[in-house]
């Protein structure tokens, strides 16, 4: 039978998992926006996006600490080590315990907390897989941008951007006029 304290922890855990789902969805949206802004070269919007990412990171950090505390508390409720409390185990344990309890003792009006945890687990797995894919695509775009920018630099500054001046044995500077974007020499 699930104690009332554990019921409350499960309800809070479901809220925390819902917040994790929202965070992953927001992150996916942010990666989409990042790629779009990189392609359009909208620096001001990129700056705003980075500020939003920093704010979201702080919020997510607080949610993660809350989840870790719930994990410790649920480990004590289940009588196992904190490292053994996973969503899979929790869903199985809750489904087993709720099935054994009479329907009136559940207190969740026939809501299966094990199924609710399992549902969020499936959603989180899907979003994590999608995030991994989108992250890889974003990394590839950034690498292509970097390669393109290096190619442009090589075209305009063939010496690799180290400057076009060389020195004669007497110490006089010789400028390679062909490598400068704009030559001021007459």
Please check whether residue 112 lies inside any domain of the structure: yes
Structural tokens at position 59: 């919020």
| Dist. CA 131–CA 144, nearest whole Å | 20
Please check whether residue 175 lies inside any domain of the structure: no
Range 12-24 average pLDDT = 94
Range 53-74 average pLDDT = 91
Q: Could you read off the pLDDT of 77-105 as tens digits, one per residue?
A: 888 888 888 898 888 887 766 544 544 44
Please check whether residue 14 lies inside any domain of the structure: yes
Number of domains in the chain: 1
For residue 109, what pLDDT is reported? 37
Which stretches of 41-112 are DSSP H helices? Answer: 43-78, 87-100, 103-106
Please check whether residue 147 lies inside any domain of the structure: yes
- Domain of 92, CATH number, reads 1.20.58
Instruction: Please state, as a whole number, how many other Cβ atoms lie within 10 Å of the Cβ of residue 113.
Output: 23
Confidence of residue 154 (pLDDT cuts 50, 70, 90): confident
Range(s) of the domain holding residue 44: 4-160
Q: Could you read off the pLDDT of 128-148 as tens digits, one per residue?
A: 999 999 999 999 998 998 898
Please check whether residue 74 lies inside any domain of the structure: yes
| Dist. CA 44–CA 72, nearest whole Å | 43
For residue 6, what pLDDT is reported? 79
Please check whether residue 97 lies inside any domain of the structure: yes
Q: Is the pLDDT of residue 66 over 80?
A: yes
Please check whether residue 177 lies inside any domain of the structure: no
Please check whether residue 166 lies inside any domain of the structure: no
């Amino acid at each position: 039978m699930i104690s009332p304290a554990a019921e409350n922890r499960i309800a809070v855990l479901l809220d925390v998992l819902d917040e994790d789902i929202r965070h992953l969805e927001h992150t996916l949206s942010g990666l989409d926006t990042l790629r779009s802004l990189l392609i359009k070269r909208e620096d001001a919007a990129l700056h705003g996006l980075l500020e939003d990412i920093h704010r979201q990171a702080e919020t997510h950090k607080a949610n993660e600490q809350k989840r870790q505390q719930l994990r410790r508390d649920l480990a004590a409720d289940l009588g196992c080590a904190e490292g053994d409390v996973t969503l899979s185990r929790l869903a199985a344990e809750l489904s087993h315990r709720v099935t054994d309890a009479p329907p009136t003792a559940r207190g969740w009006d026939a809501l299966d907390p094990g199924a609710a945890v399992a549902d969020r687990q499936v959603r989180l797995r899907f979003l994590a897989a999608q995030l991994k894919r989108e992250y890889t695509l974003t990394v590839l775009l950034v690498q292509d941008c970097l390669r393109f920018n290096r190619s442009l630099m090589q075209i305009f500054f063939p010496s690799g951007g180290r400057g076009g001046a060389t020195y004669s044995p007497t110490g006089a500077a010789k400028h390679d006029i062909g490598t400068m974007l704009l030559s001021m020499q007459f």
